[in-house]
Amino acid sequence: MITVATQYFSLEQISIKSGEKLGPVTVAYETYGMLNAARSNAILILHAFTGDAHAAFYHEGEEKPGWWDGMIGPGKAFDTDKYFVICSNVLGSCKGTTGPDSIDPRTGKPFGLAFPVITIEDMVDVQKALVDYLGITKLLSCAGGSMGGMQAVTWAVKYPQYAHSIIVIAACHRHTAQQIAFHEVGRQAVMADPAWNNGDYYGKALPARGLSVARMIGHITYMSWVSMENKFGRKLLDKQKLGYDLSKDFEVQSYLEYRGQSFVGRFDANSYIYLTKAMDYFDLAEGRKVSDVFKGVTADFLVISFTSDWLYPSSQSREMVRALQAEDADVSYVEIHSDYGHDAFLVEFDDQSRAVSHYLAKVGRERAGLI
Amino acid sequence: MIRLDYEIIADIVEPGARVLDLGCGDGELLSMLKEKKDCRATGIEISPQQIIRCMARGVSVAQGNIDSDLDVYEDKRFDYVILNESLQQVLNIEKVLADSLRVGKKVIVGIPNFCNLRARIQIFFMGQVPVTESLPYKWYNTPNVRFLSLKDFRDFCADKNVGIEKSWYLCKGRKVAIMTGLFADSGIFVLRKN
C-alpha cells in the first residue's frame, strides 16, 4: 500500500475569463512516481466534476484509495514506475483548491456567491501555473474523463506547445442542450432549498435537501438503463409487496437517497453550482467550426468513449475525432463496450487500461524519447 | 513469415508516403508500412478489439465506418488508400471506392476471388456455396456482403472509368501468371482516377 499526501501551491493572483481578478489562489495537488532527469515523463491527470487531487494511492490511515487508483500506479495504465503523474484539484472546487467555500481575503468570510464565475479555461490556466511551478516545460500527456476530458482538450488548444498528447475520455468539445438541462435542474434544486440562502450558508444549516436531490439527478445520468436494470430492476426495499403509500417501495429509491445524502457530506453546494456552470459554458469552438479550433494543435490525440454513456455519448466523441482528422491531427479513437454508462471511465479498466498504456508507450517512444 | 499480399503492398508504397488503411484489422500492415517504409500511416477499423491490437503495435487508428467516414478528408490527403480484404465487406462499394479515389492519389484494393477453380468445382459438382482456404466462411457466418470475381472487379473499374495501373494475382501465398481468373484466390490492384 503506497501512501501519498496532498501538497499545496499558491498563486498570488489570476485573471479569469470573465475579466475579474482572483487571488491569492491555493492549488491542492498530488504526485505519483518520479520525474526523470530529462523532465520528459510527466502526465497531468484532470479530474471530473466532483473529483479531487487524490487520484491514486492511499492517504495515511484511510481505507479507500484515490478515485482513479485502478488506472494509476505501478504496472497500471498510467504506470508510476515509468511516469511522473500529477493531479490537482480544479479551481472552484471544494477539495483544497480555492473555491466558493474559501475565505475571501476582502471580507474574511467565505466567498459564497462573491466567488467569480469561472470556466474550464480558467481551471486549465491554474493547472498551467502548477506545471510551470513544478519545472515541467512539456507534458507527455494531459488526460482526463468527463469534465477532465474537457480540460484535456482545452489544454491542446490553449497551450498547444505544452503537451505531446491529449487523452480525452467520455467527454465532449461543447456542452449540449441536454447536458445543460440536467445541470440546470440540479442547480435549481440547490437554489430552491431555503437553507441555500443565496449561497450564504457557511457556518449555518447546509442546503442538504437541495444538494441531495441535485446529486440524485446527476447519478441517474451517470448510470445507464442497463446498469440500473441490472443493479435494481424492480427489487423491493425490505418489503414483500408494494405499499400503495408514499413510503419508499423500490431499492433504486433508497440507493439514490443514500448517494444524495452522502454527497452532502463531501461536497459544497456552491461548488456544485459553479462547476456545473463552468461545464455549461464549455464550447471549444464558440461559434466557429470545431476543426478550425484544432488548426494550431500539435499534440497527438487518444479519444475514448463508452457504448452505454448517454450523458456524453459516443456521437460527441466522434464529432471531435472527425474534426481532428479533418485538421490532420494524429488521432486514435476507440469506443469501448460497457454497460456502466458515463461512470464506465471510473470502473471499466480492462480495455481502457490497454488503450491508454499502449498509447502512452507509443507517444513516449515517438515523441518524448522514452524507452 | 510475412504475408505475400502485405509484401506486395509494402513494395508498391513509396518511402515516406501518407497512407490510409480502410478496415485495417489488427494493424499488421500499417505497422509494417510505418517501420519499413517510414510511412505516415493511419487506419479506420470497425472493431474496438482490433483497434486495441493496433494500438499495441503503435499505430494510430480510429474506430469508424468506412461506408460513411471518409468525407472529413480533403481531396488527395493520402498518397495511398488501402482496401485490403475489406471492400467485399462494404455495402456501398461505389461510394467507398469513389471516396477512396477522392482522398487518395492512388487506391490499392485487395479482393478475394469468389470464382476461383476450387470454388467453381464446389458449386458445380457439389451444388454448395464454396468454402475454401481463401474463402473460409459458411454462408451464414461470412462477414462478406459482396461476392465478386477478379473479372467482375476489372469490369467494374472499366465501367466506372477507373484506371488499373497494376495488378497481381495470388494463390496460396504465390503469384499466379496464367489463367488468373481460375487459379488466383485473390488479386491486388493499384487504381487511379482516369
Tell me the C-alpha distance between A121 and B112, whole Å: 52
Whole-Å CA distances, B27 to A154, A282, A371, B6: 30, 35, 22, 11
Q: Model confidence over B141-192: pLDDT tens digits?
A: 999 999 999 999 999 999 999 999 999 999 988 999 999 999 999 999 999 9
Nearest partner of B119 among B128, B106, B107, B110, judged by Cα? B128
The DSSP output letter for A151 is H
**Mutation site for A-interface testing, chosen from B42, B50, B52, B73 by largest number of A Cβ within 10 Å:** B52
The per-residue pLDDT for A239 is: 86
Instruction: Answer yes or no: do B55 and A332 touch at CB < 8 A.
Output: yes
Distance from CA of B146 to the nearest CA of A (A): 27
Q: Model confidence over A60-111: pLDDT tens digits?
A: 999 999 999 999 999 999 999 999 999 999 999 999 999 999 999 999 999 9
Residue A17 has pLDDT above 80, yes or no: yes
Instruction: Answer yes or no: do B42 and A330 touch at CB < 8 A.
Output: yes
Residue B77 has pLDDT above 90, yes or no: yes
Nearest partner of B148 among B114, B99, B192, judged by Cα? B114
**Mutation site for B-interface testing, chosen from A164, A291, A305, A325 by largest number of B Cβ within 10 Å:** A325
The fraction of chain A above a pLDDT of 90, given in percent, is 98
Tell me the C-alpha distance between A347 and A171, whole Å: 16
Q: Does B75 touch chain A (CB under 8 A)?
A: no
Distance from CA of B46 to the nearest CA of A (A): 9
B72 contacts in A (CB within 8 Å)? 322-323, 325-326
Q: Does B18 touch chain A (CB under 8 A)?
A: no
The per-residue pLDDT for B104 is: 98
pLDDT-derived band at A328 (thresholds 50, 70, 90) equals very high
Residue A5 has pLDDT above 80, yes or no: yes
Instruction: Answer yes or no: do B52 and A355 touch at CB < 8 A.
Output: yes
Torsion sign over Cα B47, A318, B86, B129: positive
The per-residue pLDDT for A329 is: 96
pTM: 0.96
Mean pLDDT of B118-136: 91
pLDDT-derived band at B1 (thresholds 50, 70, 90) equals confident
The fraction of chain A above a pLDDT of 70, given in percent, is 100
Helix/strand/coil for A221: helix
Distance from CA of A362 to the nearest CA of B (A): 5
Instruction: Answer yes or no: do B52 and A354 touch at CB < 8 A.
Output: yes
| Mean model confidence pLDDT for chain A | 97
First to last CA, chain A: 27
Q: Model confidence over A147-188: pLDDT tens digits?
A: 999 999 999 999 999 999 999 999 999 999 999 999 999 999
Tell me the C-alpha distance between A14 and A35, whole Å: 27
Q: What is the ipTM of this complex?
A: 0.94
Q: Model confidence over A180-227: pLDDT tens digits?
A: 999 999 999 999 999 999 999 999 999 999 999 999 999 999 999 999
The per-residue pLDDT for B134 is: 81
Whole-Å CA distances, A139 to A77, A131, A160, A258, A348: 17, 8, 11, 39, 25
pLDDT-derived band at B194 (thresholds 50, 70, 90) equals confident
pLDDT-derived band at B133 (thresholds 50, 70, 90) equals confident
Residue A248 has pLDDT above 80, yes or no: yes
Q: Are A233 and A147 in contact (CB under 8 A)?
A: no
